[in-house]
Structure 1
Amino acid sequence: MDSPYSHELKVAFAAIQRAAEISRSVFAQVDLGVLKKDDLSPVTIADFAIQALLTATFHAAFPNDKFVGEESAAELRENPVLLERVWSHLQQAAGGGGGGDADADGLCRIPESPEQACQMIDWCGSGVPGGVGTGRVWVFDPIDGTQNFVRGELYAINVALLEDGKQVLSAVGCPNLSPDVTGPVMDNSLDPEGRGSIVFAVRGYGTHVRQLTGSLDEVSVRAIPRHAEEAPTLRSVTCLNTLASGLEDVHIAAAELLQMPFPGCNLLPWVIRYVVMGLGLANTTFWVYNTRTRLAKAWDHAGAMLLFEEVGGKITDVDGRDIDLTAGRKMAANYGFVAAPKNLHGLVLRTLQDVIRQDGRIELIGSGA
């Protein structure tokens, strides 16, 4: 795919390949170094090491760009043993993964020391997406779906580029999802051949998929048709019976009114849900948080949403507002999500809002919705 972001994609592919090697190396260990953050979400050695690798690599390639990422280095600074384990995986990555990916060997970087690793992780941990006039900001989710990762199920490495707060590039590494996957996709739908995939998009140039390993000139790239512009039916992807943050009864009732088989694809990681919609294995997802004070995190959505938008899909919040990535690390300008084919998005949005009202939860409907 020729685009103005060809070099950025080349760096992203290389970084994702090396990040996937780190994740596999960590998973091979008995102790994954799982910690619980303040919001009770898990984080592993792989999260820290991959965020350091991504930041070092993109900073070397694009020294004027800024960064946002999920993790901060506070735990590492307080736990020298954990920091040493992270540093060990980074040093192993610096030696090459043995996968024969020359691009990864030539483009990837690691921090120069454990202290610089902490510093680079904190660049991301304190970064904000920004808005008009803020320039280029890379957004990383080093492991989206950490709970899945520790179980050996589907997870993603999310890399996004924003310019003045707008998504322009998405590259999502799926180390155990086949590039030829067929639906329905579940958390345990693992690639039987172990190839993995990268699903990527550049604004205005469509969504594409390739296998994870191999240099650009060695692997085939498949363009995904714009299936979500004029879709005849709704096909669901959601997360059922796993997360407590959403109103499952509302989701189920809305799907029934829409005559949409539910759950369809059932996946924990948000990024993988966007991947599945980008690939055409689903075309609809919605999420009503159980309170309006619950805020989504930018790294779970930035870039990955572009995969669906570039095949014709439309994404708003539950109030019908456009998604605003400039509001901060937590997406304070939006409540929930509604993603659907462009021609059916209005129907899905109205149905969901009607169910919320009929359920007596009028406080969840924003003014003007």
Structure 2
Amino acid sequence: MSYEREKDVAVQAAIAASKLCQRVRQDIPAAMEKKDKSPVTVADYGSQALVCKALAEAFPEDAIVGEEDATALRQPEMADALTKVAAYVKEIESEATEGEVVKWIDRGNGKVASRFWTLDPIDGTKGFLRQDQYAVALALIDEGEVKLGVLACPALSIDTENSGVLFVAVRGEGAQMMPLSGGAAKAIAVCDAGDRANLRFVESVESSHGNPEQQNAVAQAVGIVTPSLRMDSQAKYGAVASGQAALYLRLPSPKSPDYRENIWDHAAGAIVVEEAGGRVSDMNGKSLDFSRNVKLKENRGVVVSNGTIHDTVLEALKNIV
């Protein structure tokens, strides 16, 4: 099955969301707080509103499983925040009203189904707040498999002239990257086994997002000696897919050994890496299962590699964990 229309709609939605995020970042508002204490800004809500509106209009039957919902924004004490969100959205969608914006955000409250989209409107909110890396991550899961992934990284540079990168992958068609500002797409591929300069980790800035001790042990086991590349968000998947790094590990923190990852934190990045020739699995070598729940309940940890070192990494993890 061709996913050309889905790709076109997803790309345009991610670009629109990225424009809003960059507009907000010119004057970052104070972070609001969700129940889990992670920061969320008006950009998260605005980004989700734009993407959900686009998907709902193009594919009204498709469920959307997004990270945010508008419950907090509907509270009287959040009236000023809702006004800000609607104002930013209105700069891109002129017909936006506060009422429409909360409806668009809540369009992302769908359930996992035989065909659905999963969205992280800003993956790496802490990176966004500190003027570092973040991503708008959107993926389509159809019949249990990720078929399309779009990863917009507005703060990632291709070269000195182009800031902002869009990664796109369709199952069976390879992966591409292009400037967010427009321009030609080019095919990307993971680094090969002989590329010693890029045989390195890409790691989270936040040490709490993994297990640094185990990661260092794995590095030694597979012969990684080059200093790590550090960045927030699924931009790390983009780094592996485009050959800038060979390995990304998301190992459970010792403080939360039973933690399971959210599907929107990995779906878009996973297909981009796989279509670029890499490999993605959990710590036991099992494929990530995006088909059952908003959590990757059947998977513990995430291993992302250029493919050639994957089995060695899994073997090292058996001896370390």
Structure 1 length normalisation: TM-score? 0.80
Once the two structures are superposed, residues 12-45 of structure 1 have per-residue CA deviations (whole angstroms, 9 ceiling, x without a partner) of 222222212211221122x514112222211100
- 2:297 maps to which of 332, 344, 361: 332
Unaligned runs of 5+ in 1: 96-109, 181-191, 357-369
Which residue of structure 2 lines up, in the alignment, with residue 143 of structure 1? 122
Equivalent residue number for residue 318 of structure 1: 283
Whether the 8 Å CA contact 1:255–1:262 is kept in 2: the answer is: no
Give the corresponding residue for 1:252: 216
For the pair 1:177 / 2:156, whether they are aligned, the reply is: yes
* Cα distance in 2 for residues equivalent to 1:17 and 1:92: 14
Deviating beyond 4 angstroms after TM superposition, the runs of 4 or more aligned structure 1 residues are: none
Q: 1:52 to 1:241 in 2, by over 3 A?
A: closer
Contact (CA 8 Å) 1:252, 1:262: kept in 2 or not? no
Q: Is residue 2:99 matched to residue 1:118?
A: no
Amino acid at match of 1:231: A
Deviation at 1:64, TM superposition (A): 1.5
Could you give the per-residue CA deviations for residues 262-296 of structure 1, whole angstroms, max 9, x where no partner exists? 55211221x11101111111121222212332111
SS of equivalent to 1:244:
helix
Deviation per CA, 1:155-201: give whole Å up to 9, x if none: 11111111123111111111121234xxxxxxxxxxx4354121111
* 1:123-180 deviations in Å (ceiling 9; x for gaps): 31x32333xxx22x11111111111111111211111111123111111111121234
Stretches of structure 2 lacking an aligned partner (at least 5 in a row): none
Query: Per the alignment, in what secondary structure is the counterpart of residue 196 of structure 1?
Result: strand
Aligned to 2:63: 66
Amino acid at match of 2:259: R
Of 81, 106, 110 in structure 2, the residue corresponding to residue 127 of structure 1 is 110
What secondary structure, in the 3-state scheme, does the structure 2 residue paired with 1:321 have?
A: coil
Counterpart of 1:261? Answer: 225
State the secondary structure of the residue aligned to 1:175: strand
Query: Alignment RMSD, CA only?
Result: 2.0
Q: Give distance in 2, aligned partners of 1:193 and 1:309.
A: 28
- Given candidates 204, 211, 214, the residue that maps to 2:179 is 211
Partner of 1:44: 41
Classify the secondary structure of the residue corresponding to 2:156: coil
Residue aligning to 2:80: 81
Q: Distance in 1 between matches of 2:29 and 2:110?
A: 26
When residues 241 and 19 of structure 1 are mapped into structure 2, their CA distance, relative to the original with a 3 A threshold, is closer
**How far 1:306 sits from its partner (Å)?**
0.6
Task: Provide the C-alpha distance between the structure 1 equivalents of 2:244 and 2:87, rounded to a whole number of angstroms.
Answer: 38
**Aligned-pair distance for 1:327?**
3.0
Structure number with larger C-alpha Rg: 1
Query: TM-score with structure 2 length normalisation?
Result: 0.91
Give the secondary-structure state (helix, strand or coil) at the position aligned to 2:65: strand
Question: Corresponding residue for 2:251?
Answer: 288
Equivalences, count:
315
2:266 corresponds to which of 278, 291, 301: 301
Q: How far apart are the structure 2 equivalents of 1:239 and 1:91?
A: 36
